[in-house]
Chain A
Amino acid sequence: MSDACIPDKTLSALLDQALAGDRAQQVRRHLAGCAVCRRRLAALQQTDDMIRSLPAITPSAGFDAGFWEKVERLEARQARPAWIQALLGGWRPLLVATAAAAIVLAAIVFYPRTVPGPTMEELFMVDNMEMLDELELIQQLEMFEHWDDIQSMEEQG
C-alpha cells in the first residue's frame, strides 16, 4: 500500500455511494492503477455480500394474529369511557400518594415506640440520683433541726 492509497473509511463510503462526485472520480482513478486498494475494496464488498447472504426469516404463523390482538386491546382501552380512563390513568399517582401517606402515618404512630427505652444501667443511675437528692434533703432537714445550736455556736464564735 503506497502513501497515496485510499483510506478504508473512504473505500467504505465509495461502496455506499456516499462520496461526492469529484472525490469518487479521484478514488476510481487510483483504484484503476492500484491492485492493493482494489483487493481492499473487494474485501469490503465481500463483507457486505456475506451479510446479505444470511438467510432471512419469515414471520411465524401466529405473528399477524398476535399483532392484531394487541391492536384490539389498544382499541378497547381507547374506547373506554373517559371517566374510566381517567381512573385507570390516575391509579398510579393515587397509589404513590397513598403509599407515601401510609409511610408518614406509620412514622408518626410508631416513632415513639421505636425510640429505645432506658437501659437497666440508666434506671439504676436515676435511682441513685433520686437517692442522692433525698439524702441532701434529709441533711438539710437535720440542719434545720439543729438550727438553734448552730446559731448559738456562731454567736459564741
Chain B
Amino acid sequence: MQTDPDIELMLMFQAGDQNAFRRLFDRHKGRVIHFCYRFCGQRAVAEELAQETFLRVYKAAPGYRPEARFQTWLFKIAANVCLNEIRRLNRRRQESGDESLEPPPSPSGDGMVTAQDGPDELLEREEQQQMVRNAIDQLPEAQRAALLLRVEHEFSYREIGKQIGRSENHVRTLIHRGRNKIKEALSAYFGETP
C-alpha cells in the first residue's frame, strides 16, 4: 500500500506539507469532476460536488490511515457526496412535487465535434450520446455509481464494494443490471443482438 504515490502525498500533507495536497488536487480533480458530472448530469452541480469531495479529503487528513488505494478512498468520498446529493434532490422533489427540480437534460456537444465528421455523422453521434446519457440518468443510483466506477474508472468489484458499501457479489449484480439496462436502451445501435 505504501508504494501508492498518492498515499505518500496524503501522508506528507498529514505531516503539514500543503503542496502535497495541491498535487493530489491537481492530479485527481479532472477525474472527480468527470465522475460527478456523469453521475448528476449538470456541470455546475458536478463542480460543487467535486469541491465538496476534496474539502472532505482536506478535513479528513488528520485522521487519515492508508487502508486502501488512495483513489479507492477518494472515490468512496465522491460517491457518497454524489449519492447524498441525489437523495437530497429526490426527497425535495417528492416533498414539493416540483418538476422544476428535475435535472435538466444533459448538455450535448461538449468536445465531440471533429473536423472529419460530416453533418449526418455528427447528428447521429450526438443523438447516440444523448441516448447513452439518458440511459445512465435513468439507472437507479447504486447501479449508476457501480457501473460508472467500473466502466469509466476501472475499479475492481471489491473496491467498488468498499466505495458504495455493498458486498462484492452485490456489486456484480448491480453492474450486470445497469449494463443490461443501458444495452436495452441502446438496442437500436446494436443491430441484430438477441
Q: Which of A's residues lie within 8 Å of B, judged by CB?
A: 1, 8-9, 12-13, 16, 18, 36, 39-40, 42-44, 46-48, 50-60, 63-64, 66-67, 70-71, 74
Interface: B75 (CB within 8 A) = no
Given A8-B176, A59-B29, A59-B33, A67 and B151 contact (CB-CB distance below 8 Å): no
Q: Which of B's residues lie within 8 Å of A, judged by CB?
A: 25, 29-30, 33-34, 37-38, 43, 46-47, 50-51, 54-55, 58-59, 110-112, 128-129, 132-133, 136, 147-148, 150-152, 156-157, 172-173, 175-176, 179-180, 182-183, 186, 189-190, 192-194
CA distance A39 to B194 in the complex (A): 8
- CB nearest to B155 among chain A residues: A16
- CB nearest to A63 among chain B residues: B47
CA distance A36 to B55 in the complex (A): 49
- CB nearest to A71 among chain B residues: B58
Q: Are B132 and A9 in contact (CB under 8 A)?
A: no
Pairs across A and B, CB under 8 Å, 8 listed: A12-B172, A18-B157, A43-B190, A53-B129, A54-B129, A55-B110, A57-B37, A66-B51
Closest 5 pairs between A and B when the two form their complex, measured CB to CB: A12-B176, A55-B111, A43-B193, A9-B176, A47-B183
Q: Are B128 and A48 in contact (CB under 8 A)?
A: no
Q: Are A43 and B33 in contact (CB under 8 A)?
A: no
CA distance A35 to B153 in the complex (A): 30
- CB nearest to A9 among chain B residues: B176
Given A43-B193, A51-B132, A16 and B175 contact (CB-CB distance below 8 Å): yes
Q: Are A54 and B132 in contact (CB under 8 A)?
A: yes
Given A40-B193, A55-B129, A74-B55, A47 and B111 contact (CB-CB distance below 8 Å): no
Q: Are B179 and A47 in contact (CB under 8 A)?
A: yes
CA distance A134 to B173 in the complex (A): 90
Q: Are A36 and B194 in contact (CB under 8 A)?
A: yes
Measured between C-beta atoms, what is the minimum distance from A157 to chain B in Å? 88
Q: Are B156 and A18 in contact (CB under 8 A)?
A: yes
A residues within 8 A CB of B25? 67
CA distance A43 to B59 in the complex (A): 43
Among A50, A53, A64, max chain B CB count under 10 A is at A50
B residues within 8 A CB of A13? 172, 176
CA distance A58 to B33 in the complex (A): 8
Q: Are B47 and A60 in contact (CB under 8 A)?
A: yes
Q: Are A44 and B183 in contact (CB under 8 A)?
A: yes
Measured between C-beta atoms, what is the minimum distance from B106 to chain A in Å? 9
- CB nearest to A19 among chain B residues: B172
A residues within 8 A CB of B194? 1, 36, 39-40
